[in-house]
Structure 1
Amino acid sequence: MTYQATSIPSALQIIQADLDAGTVIHLWLKSCRPGLMADLRVAVEDIELASVVTTRTDEFEFRELELSQGGKAVLSFNPLEASVSVIYAFHPLTVRDEGIFILHQASRNAPPILTDGYHFRPPFGWMNDPNGFGRFGGQVHLFYQHYPHSLRWNTMHWGHAISKDYIRWKHLPVFLFPSDELSQRDDGRGGAFSGSAIPGIGTGESIRVFFTEQVRDRKPEEQIQLSALSHDGISAQAPSVIVPKRPEGLDLTLDFRDPYVFEGPDGNWKMLLGSRDKAGGVVLLYETLDPKGAGGWTFVGTLHREDRYGMTAAECPCILPLGERKNPETRWALVFGLLTSRDPKTGRRNLTSITVGRFDGRTFEREAEQELDFGSDAYAFQAFVDDGGPVGIAWLANWTDVSKKEDFATAMTLPRRILWDGCSVLTPPVESVTSLRHLQIDEAGLLATGERVTLLSGAVEIELDLVMPGTPFELVFEHPDIDLGVRLDTEGLEILFGDRNAKASPRYLATGARPSTVRVFLDAGSIEVFADNGRWVGTKRLPSVSPVTSVRLAAPRGAISGARVWQLKLLI
């Protein structure tokens, strides 16, 4: 497919594309003012095939069209009468190879224009939690919390993309939509909240998803659990309710969300749900004997709780075997976020915990605990067991930065392995990130000598080898809008961050860290630090997508045994 769009002020806006027969078009439009009919017309080879009309003014109305013939397609509307958010096209037979084709999007929901950005971003609109992360039909699927019509959180949909290597993604059609009731207005009352996915029964493309439906002020339950089946891995059937209410007798708040479904050590499907009571965050366990996971879910009990930070909500729980799933000696890693938590030592908010222990399918025996990310901007972490072991991904942001009044460009973290070394959980980046190394710069070794090194587009990886564990150093980055650096000293490993236009920032510190190797990934709007193969990981969203322009290393003479810098580029 090819397309071009032209616009004439105060007249029709014309979108032209060469489309095949059987092409499906998804579009959202609304009327510019009450009492006015918005009309978008679709013609192919000068034959009008459809006229899409709406009088809705509060929120964009979704429509789907399938072209009965191919050729030169013309979509037209009057921008003084119709407001059009997004139009994209795809062919069901080729969308897995080609992805969707964006024919039109408004300026308010357009992503930032980046030269060499390599983190996953939505093709339009807002994104937060990763959902349904898993491998189905031979490809990795990533669903995510999505609002198509602006760069701010609102009524939740599920976006969708697929990959073969966790790094290069094809954008697919929007997968889940909010209910008709919630779709009428842009007031953010709820929608298809976070969840997970398992293989469906049948074809290799079949997927069953689980999610929370949120409807604010609904009585008696604002949040209930639903499931939907997709036979083709592209679109979902109508969902059904599988858990209609909270378990009784636990004095839980209305927080009851984010179903994570996985196969337990006994071979049965299990489900984790996040909640809270008056003491703190609670992770709940359900199970079913249904091999499809479609129903029969019963409450087992409270799997884990976290009371140290007060009345925080446990969100987005997931659990992974760190070895053979059926082996009773295998440790399991339970990961969950703590909404509204605050670290009193550093001021960081919304922390994410990894608790390691033994899991027999019904009870979890805690043995050790650590923090997922000392930068705190790897939230809503979700993982699954792939052929090479567990792998996960997180939202590269933190709710403390989100504003209802300002746009917010969103991204996911680099995907990460989840490993167990017998003492700690390691979360290094997946191996395929090395394929991003487009060009090695600083071959003269200027960085190791303390000289300033220019970073071109700012999309780079820096790798340092220290002569001794914990050897002090500081990387100082030059950025037009913020103060940024990475420092290792007697306190530990720290991301140095200062927003020149905001109040004082928390400290992003891994206390006591004494690594021997450090990898730093810089991209538009983010920094990720991996030390000692992911034993310590720090992720920080940057409030500007302007690139880091240079780096300088300060370290004692002879402290650095190796310093390498690569220019990164996402080559498809």
Structure 2
Amino acid sequence: MDSNSTAEPATLKVIPADLPVNATLHLWLKAVEPGTAGSVSLHSDGGKFGEVHAVNAEENSFRIYHVFGGGHLELRYDTAVTSVSVAYWFTPADVLETGITVLHTNPVNAAPDLPASYHFRPPFGWMNDPNGFGRFGGRPHLFYQHYSHGRMWNNMHWGHAVSSDYLRWRHLPVFLFPSEDLSARPDKRGGAFSGSAIPLPSGPGIRVFFTDKVSGRQPEQEIQMSAVSADLFTAGEATVILPHRPQDEGLTLDFRDPYVFKGPDGRWKMLLGSQSDEGGVILLYETEDPQAAGGWTYVGKLLIETRHRTTAIECPCLLPLDGETTDPAARWALIYGLMNSTDERTGRRNLTMVEVGWFDGRSFSREFSRELDFITDNYAFQAFVDGAIPVGIGWLGNWADTGPAVDFPSAMTLPRTLKLEDGQLLTPPIGAAESLRSHILDRTRLAKGEVVTFLNGAVEILFDLNEPGLAFDLTLEHPHVALGLVQDETGLWLRYGSPDRASPRYIVEGAQVQRLRIFLDYGSIEVFADGGRIAGTKRVDGFEPVSSARLSASPDAIRHATIWALRL
């Protein structure tokens, strides 16, 4: 007890921390009971030197405290009157290199403890769509839809992380916040929804674009906003750039997910997803402002989707695949999610489509179209061209399996490259994925049809067939679901069965693949066939690992097979 303290209550909670000089603390706290303010006091060896308060008992209030002197300190609060959701610190001068240090979370928002897991997960709370995926200041940055105070969807923030290789990420401070009104109650009414980011054309920094949503707001529930970050980790004040939907286009209230990119004519372009009486639509805007800060004008409907029933197109993105932006011969990939869509033949929900064709700055001409992911749990996929290489990442989840009232700790997919080869779109994992390989677990037993056991759930399985289309059955032992990958006369399909609900049919009909690359992690499987010509992603219920694998095939069908243990 220091000289400034009175008798400490039995319900005192102490969070210790050792801080360098000039550190910044971010805390979220709330009052336990209405009418009695909550507080967290800061103590050093010299006694109490600071305090933050919150009177709201419905939702956690965000507080910032700058600690200029380094050394050991304690955050103290009385759990009878105060609840603390999250506390972390960082040093602004080098946060991009060192990230944040999390001091405290609660059981309801703590990240799962998954040794050797290699998929990106938030440091706390809920996560869904990737946002603002790009390279800024020489590093890949990933923003994402985020709610800090539980593993359930709620009023949206933007989380943030930075990397050097797209695989090993440093968590950064929360970047965007809901409006003050939305931050007062966990009522799921809206927040800072999905969007994108571009480098500032006039110097270092980024400009982000996002949808501001408030359910029930009149006349528009969803409007488009923009903010600038000069230091790459804090956002300036956001301004409205599109206050309403285009008129007389028969659109629903859906108007979301701005994706901004440079067009062939040198102008900044923006895609937005919506729905009309014709079907799902992608809207195209452009501006002559070289800073992309304003002057956005509506060009028209870039795409109308009528093949699959959807309540709205979400998360559209458009990028060149095989040439410079200004090359008229370059093919482009137009990628988008179909919210609440259903494939009637298979029962799969929320499909993600990719159109490959030509974009002249104002219209898109389709060469061919296909699904991005046949198992469908690669949603809200966002991509950009990094140097000359298109790179993308998706949310490893599907709204068919979750919702605002479902506890759903989630992850991002492995990052993938996009490339055209022999007239087909390939989406293999990035080359750096090979750096995840720790050591070889097996090079003989799987090929012989024997059971190979795993130490944990993080493995990569590779095998080649002697001919395309040969039948096999890869059985993966899991404690809660029937899991496996099969090729037979019907095609390539995922076996996925859960006792509590019927599963869709995850199949590429008529597929005849020869080379398989399968990534297993806690709670997920990702399949890449024939160099990414076919890709499939499935979130597996729970976090119990796959414990073993067995490959059944006819004699001499398997050319060779290897299993790697993986880790970050």
TM-score by length of 1: 0.96
Q: Distance in 2 between matches of 1:371 and 1:318?
A: 14
Point out the more displaced range, 279-288 or 397-406: 397-406
Asked whether the 8 Å contact 2:95–2:172 carries over to 1, the reply is yes
Asked whether the 8 Å contact 1:44–1:70 carries over to 2, the reply is no
Deviations 1:193-225 (A, max 9, x none): 000000014443x01000000000000000000
2:179 corresponds to: 179
Query: What aligned pairs does 1:483-562 form with structure 2 within 5 A after superposition?
Result: 483-500=482-499, 502-562=500-560
Q: Distance in 1 between matches of 2:372 and 2:187?
A: 33
Deviations 1:140-176 (A, max 9, x none): 0000000000000000000000011110000000000
1:4 corresponds to: none
Point out the more displaced range, 210-219 or 510-519: 510-519
Asked whether the 8 Å contact 2:310–2:338 carries over to 1, the reply is no
SS state of the match for residue 305, structure 1?
strand
Deviations 1:25-62 (A, max 9, x none): 00000000111110100123334332111110111000
Deviations 1:400-458 (A, max 9, x none): 11144431111000000011124221100000000000010113x01001000011112
**Unmatched segments (≥5 aa) in structure 2:** 1-7
1:473 corresponds to: 472
Q: Distance in 2 between matches of 1:407 and 1:555?
A: 39
Asked whether the 8 Å contact 1:279–1:310 carries over to 2, the reply is no
Letter in 1 for 2:229: S
SS state of the match for residue 58, structure 1?
coil
SS state of the match for residue 447, structure 2?
helix
Q: Distance in 2 between matches of 1:230 and 1:431?
A: 30
Query: What aligned pairs does 1:192-211 form with structure 2 within 5 A after superposition?
Result: 192-204=192-204, 206-211=205-210
Cα distance 1:315–1:393, how it changes in 2: closer, same or farther (>3 A)? same
Quote the sequence identity (%): 54
Cα distance 1:11–1:46, how it changes in 2: closer, same or farther (>3 A)? farther
SS state of the match for residue 143, structure 1?
strand
Q: Distance in 1 between matches of 2:338 and 2:10?
A: 50
SS state of the match for residue 533, structure 1?
helix
SS state of the match for residue 448, structure 1?
coil
Q: Distance in 1 between matches of 2:415 and 2:121?
A: 13
1:115 corresponds to: 115
Asked whether the 8 Å contact 1:211–1:226 carries over to 2, the reply is yes
TM-score by length of 2: 0.97
Letter in 2 for 1:441: L
Letter in 1 for 2:129: D
Asked whether the 8 Å contact 1:419–1:427 carries over to 2, the reply is yes
1:255 corresponds to: 254
Q: Distance in 1 between matches of 2:115 and 2:350?
A: 31
Q: Distance in 2 between matches of 1:370 and 1:554?
A: 30
Q: Distance in 2 between matches of 1:414 and 1:113?
A: 19
Cα distance 1:32–1:566, how it changes in 2: closer, same or farther (>3 A)? same
Q: Distance in 2 between matches of 1:389 and 1:312?
A: 33
Q: Distance in 2 between matches of 1:291 and 1:178?
A: 28
Q: Structure 1 residue runs of 4+, over 4 Å off?
A: none
Deviations 1:373-401 (A, max 9, x none): 01100000000000241000000000011
Q: Distance in 2 between matches of 1:293 and 1:101?
A: 34
Letter in 2 for 1:172: L
SS state of the match for residue 434, structure 2?
helix
1:431 corresponds to: 431
**Unmatched segments (≥5 aa) in structure 1:** 1-7
SS state of the match for residue 96, structure 2?
helix
Q: Distance in 2 between matches of 1:97 and 1:350?
A: 37
Query: What aligned pairs does 1:200-349 form with structure 2 within 5 A after superposition?
Result: 200-204=200-204, 206-324=205-323, 325-349=325-349
1:417 corresponds to: 417
1:448 corresponds to: 447
2:148 is the alignment partner of 1:151: no
Q: Distance in 2 between matches of 1:256 and 1:194?
A: 11
Point out the more displaced range, 267-276 or 397-406: 397-406
Q: Distance in 2 between matches of 1:10 and 1:114?
A: 33
Cα distance 1:397–1:354, how it changes in 2: closer, same or farther (>3 A)? same
Q: Distance in 2 between matches of 1:279 and 1:10?
A: 64
Asked whether the 8 Å contact 2:17–2:73 carries over to 1, the reply is yes
**Residue 278 of structure 1, CA deviation:** 2.1
Cα distance 1:210–1:404, how it changes in 2: closer, same or farther (>3 A)? closer
Q: Distance in 2 between matches of 1:311 and 1:146?
A: 24
Deviations 1:517-547 (A, max 9, x none): 0100000000000001111001000111111
Q: Distance in 2 between matches of 1:189 and 1:312?
A: 18
Deviations 1:467-524 (A, max 9, x none): 1111110100111111100001121111110112x12100111122111101000000
Q: Distance in 1 between matches of 2:516 and 2:257?
A: 33
Cα distance 1:24–1:284, how it changes in 2: closer, same or farther (>3 A)? same
Q: Distance in 2 between matches of 1:329 and 1:406?
A: 46
Point out the more displaced range, 400-409 or 361-370: 400-409
Asked whether the 8 Å contact 2:453–2:547 carries over to 1, the reply is yes
SS state of the match for residue 198, structure 2?
strand
